[in-house]
Amino acid sequence: MDLNLQGKRALVTGASSGIGEAIATMLAKEGATVVVHGRDEARTRATTERIIAAGGQAHAVFGGLDDDASRSSVARQTEEEIGSIDILVNNAGGMTRFDSPSWDQLHSSDFIATMNQNFVSATYLTHHFAGAMIERGWGRIINMSSAGARKLTSNIYDYAASKAAMESWSFNLSAELSPHGVTVNCIEPGLILTSGAHIYLRTLRDEFGWPDDQAEMERLATTDINPQTIPRLGRPEEIAAAVAFLASDWSAFTTGACWRIDGGVSRGV
């Protein structure tokens, strides 16, 4: 299937590694000119150079997305590199605490920091770029959520809340922008085999005495620890393929949707 992304310009935030890198790589492979954003300059440049070496068109921009000044800098760098954009993938984000705090250990500052990093940054960039999309009558905004947004959990309250906010905002925004040819959708990944997931698997291996076998560690993690119907972790390329479709003309009738790509961990409508 030809996704017809030649000539399209895309910004992928948090694209120096993991899911974001896979998304940027696939969009470039499909013909889009991609801006690779990341905090780490060396990793971001390396990802950009790999895309170019493979025949794609890519540019690197650097900086955090923690406040309006840094967000403005990323937007300005993007426009300096490629002008306006047609596709915005709000992928950057993550947890601000990694110690699995209980509900009574989280403070308002923790919620504010996580919400700011995962949600507010997406609203800022969307506000900055969506106007030009509306003027052209074509645009794609794809927001990265998480299975944690709907899954009952006891250790990622702030992270889950920020992703639930992302979904609610995306649904409402789609009603405003879709009549102008700009679709807004979410992707809700489950546990994906990124570098962080590799560390997670090795931690479980050491804790439970699992064999040092990748396939078996994935099977045990997705049956005994985080039960799901497909007994392995997802791959970044599987998320990237869904994003590439949502970025294409083939998805013009898809808006206000949230695609669960989680191996069956969410068992509901």
The helix (run of H) or strand (run of E) holding residue 183 is strand 182-189
Share of the chain above pLDDT 90, in %: 75
What residues are labeled active site? Answer: 159
Q: Which pLDDT score, from 0 to 100, does residue 156 have?
A: 72
Structure confidence at residue 24 as a pLDDT band (50, 70, 90): very high
The helix (run of H) or strand (run of E) holding residue 214 is helix 214-220
Give CA–CA dist 252/164, Å, rounded. 24
Assess contact for 234 and 228: CB atoms under 8 A.
Answer: no
pLDDT at 42 over 90: yes
pLDDT at 92 over 80: yes
Share of the chain above pLDDT 70, in %: 91
State pTM to two decimals: 0.92
pLDDT at 95 over 90: no
Supply the mean pLDDT for the chain. 91
The helix (run of H) or strand (run of E) holding residue 62 is strand 57-62
Q: Is the dihedral of CA 197, 78, 47, 140 positive or negative?
A: positive
Structure confidence at residue 109 as a pLDDT band (50, 70, 90): confident
Q: Where are the domains of the chain?
A: 9-192+235-261, 193-233
Structure confidence at residue 168 as a pLDDT band (50, 70, 90): very high
Q: Which pLDDT score, from 0 to 100, does residue 148 have?
A: 67
Give CA–CA dist 44/14, Å, rounded. 9
Q: Mean pLDDT, to the nearest integer, of 26-42?
A: 97
- Between 24 and 113, the higher pLDDT residue: 24
Q: Mean pLDDT, to the nearest integer, of 5-21?
A: 97
Q: Mean pLDDT, to the nearest integer, of 83-101?
A: 82
**Of the candidates 52, 43, 135, the residue with the CA atom closest to the CA atom of residue 86:** 135
Q: Which pLDDT score, from 0 to 100, does residue 87 have?
A: 98
Q: Which pLDDT score, from 0 to 100, does residue 53 have?
A: 98
Burial (CB count within 10 angstroms: exposed 0-12, middle 13-18, buried 19+), residue 214? middle
Q: Is the dihedral of CA 158, 68, 64, 234 positive or negative?
A: positive
Give CA–CA dist 246/225, Å, rounded. 31
Q: Does domain 9-192+235-261 have CATH number 3.40.50.720?
A: yes
